[in-house]
Amino acid sequence: MTLKLATWNINSVRLRIGIVEKFLKEHDPDILCLQEIKCQNDQFPSKNFTRLGYEHIAVHGQKGYHGVATVSKRPLTDISSTDYCQMGDTRHVVTGFEAGGRKLRVHNFYVPAGGDEADPVKNPKFDHKLKFLDEMLALRSDDDGAENLLVGDLNIAPHENDVWSHKQLLKVVSHTPIETEFLDRIRDEGDWLDLIRHKVPYDERLFTWWSYRARDWDAADKGRRLDHIWAAPTLGENLTDISVLRDARGWEKPSDHVPVMATFDLD
């Protein structure tokens, strides 16, 4: 059987529900993980999703900020969330599901951006980000008999070809050595497989985010790969395709992020 799973920082799900529906109709993922939904649970546009066959919904939102949601054509079980750093913001939801006779679990994350200055002493937002990453070290790709996936806007572009200019961004939050080394630790110690780079060679530049500040984002192409899909190594054996929908950055009222989708053959 084929399983398609996508992740997308939508930057307000209600404002951009039109392009979400466009994506679902054109690409038909089984599961879509959204970040930065910017609404409370009862404000989430569930009817728009159920009309398209996404009847199973896990929302962890808050008023005006942050928030994550996972919508699925498959039944979702064991829905929960972790309040990382006990800050009260809604940056994580985990859901279980079955596919191809296998027990799977997906962690949907919106990691703090970290502000503008890469100094945890001077910048509380950056300190929060580092503490959040430290707590993520406890995650494992295979636990409780399930194969896990970790997806979302991790707000870190780890490799030099995950940014438009490695040298110019070394001191810019999202690509500083302390962040990229932290993300590498989370991946390695948790035995996670970075599915994008499992398919796309490291010598190829690849971005999932382009700033709104650029007059012509496409021509300037000053992007970063902030959005990720990680998985248990066993799922890497079933991965048939990984796609970054760059064109979505040019849709009407776009998010500054684009969807990333992984396709698996679980037969």
Spatial CB neighbours of 69, under 8 Å, sequence gap ≥ 6: 13, 33, 34, 37, 44, 57, 58, 59, 60, 61, 93, 108
- In 3D space, the residue among 265, 180, 267, 189 whose CA is nearest the CA of residue 228 turns out to be 180
- pLDDT tens digits for range 43-53: 999 999 999 99
Can you spell out the DSSP letters for 213-231? T-TTHHHH--EE--EEEEE
Distance CA 182, CA 159 (A): 12
Q: How many CB atoms lie within 10 A of CB 219?
A: 8
> What pTM does this model have?
0.97
CA atoms within 13 A on the CB side of 109: 23
Domains of the chain: 2-265 (3.60.10.10)
Give me the percent of the chain exceeding a pLDDT of 70.
100
**How would you class 64 by CB atoms within 10 Å of its CB: exposed for 0-12, middle for 13-18, buried for 19 or more?**
exposed
**pLDDT attached to residue 139:** 97
- pLDDT tens digits for range 120-177: 999 999 999 999 999 999 999 998 889 999 999 999 999 999 999 999 999 999 999 9
Is the per-residue pLDDT at 181 higher than 80?
Answer: yes
- In 3D space, the residue among 92, 94, 91, 88 whose CA is nearest the CA of residue 76 turns out to be 94
**pLDDT attached to residue 216:** 95
Is the per-residue pLDDT at 15 higher than 80?
Answer: yes
* Three-state DSSP state, 150: strand
- pLDDT tens digits for range 54-97: 999 999 999 999 999 999 999 999 999 999 999 999 999 999 99
Q: Give the dihedral sign, CA 62/38/178/161.
A: positive
SS3 content of the chain, % helix, strand, coil (to 5): 25, 30, 45
Is the per-residue pLDDT at 17 higher than 80?
Answer: yes
Q: 118 falls in which pLDDT band (50, 70, 90)?
A: very high
Is the per-residue pLDDT at 267 higher than 80?
Answer: no
**pLDDT attached to residue 187:** 98
**pLDDT attached to residue 143:** 85
Residues 202-207, mean pLDDT to the nearest whole number:
97
Is the per-residue pLDDT at 236 higher than 80?
Answer: yes
